[in-house]
Amino acid sequence: MVDAGKDRKGREQALALAKEAAKLVVARGKKVVSFDMKKDPPDDDTLAAHVLGPTGNLRAPTVRKGKTLYVGFSDDVYRELTK
């Protein structure tokens, strides 16, 4: 576990983290977008638009579970994550 307030991840680090995952799930409010990072990965600008916040750092919360990276918060996604 890493405290995002103390260990900030900029664009390059955030993109590298996302590219390590097999699946990326991004939540913004009620909208949830999933990317298959192995079969059909998005380009860097699209990826950055989803995983970076207004400060240009990786959005919080970010959780890696297995080969899936979850970015942002959604009640439904986190309920499924804790099963």
Q: In the predicted model, is pLDDT for residue 1 greater than 80?
A: no
Task: Identify the helix (H) or strand (E) that includes residue 17.
Answer: helix 11-20
Residue in this structure with the two tokens 């999933």, named with its chain if needed: 34
Q: In the predicted model, is pLDDT for residue 9 greater than 90?
A: no
Mean pLDDT of 53-67: 91
Q: How many structural domains does the chain have?
A: 1
Q: Which amino acid is at 47?
A: L
Residue 51 lies in a domain: yes
Residue 70 lies in a domain: no
For residue 28, the enclosing domain spans: 1-64
Residue 42 lies in a domain: yes
Dump the DSSP string for 34-48: EEETTTSPPPHHHHH
Residue 24 lies in a domain: yes
Residue 13 lies in a domain: yes
Q: In the predicted model, is pLDDT for residue 2 greater than 70?
A: no
Residue 72 lies in a domain: no
Residue 16 lies in a domain: yes
Q: What is the pTM of this model?
A: 0.88
- Across all residues in the chain, what is the average pLDDT? 90
